Structure 1
Amino acid sequence: MSNENEGAIQPQEILSSDVVALCALFARIIVRCLREKDPHTLKLLSLSSTSEGEISDAA
């Protein structure tokens, strides 16, 4: 049984600016909490994100 759309590229939804702002706020809160409570995990996350070519948010 094969799906006809299996290899098709799905269009991406454009997120509203409010959703992007909310996600950025959550990310800053998480980074701040990790910085205070678990800097080792924050360092591991920073290393993995830079190895993937992403820019980390220095909140």
Structure 2
Amino acid sequence: MYLHDRADKDGKCYPAIGTIATELKLSRSTVKRAVTDLERTGHLRKENRWRENGGKSSNMYYVKL
């Protein structure tokens, strides 16, 4: 529900794992595990995002609406 509530009309959102964990009062590992489970069941697609300097940014999530 968290990602669904934050997704735009196309089902895209990009909160950081740390942000999700903080707002839901969960550990980062619990959030990562939940994202993996949602990917495996086809409810979510995750895409890595990168900064211009080559550093990793937050993931882009595509939620099945």
TM-score strictly above 0.5: no
Higher relative contact order (CA 8 A, sep 6+): 2
Structure 1 or 2, whichever has the larger Rg, is: 1
The structure where strand makes up a greater share of residues is: 2
Structure having the higher helix fraction is: 1
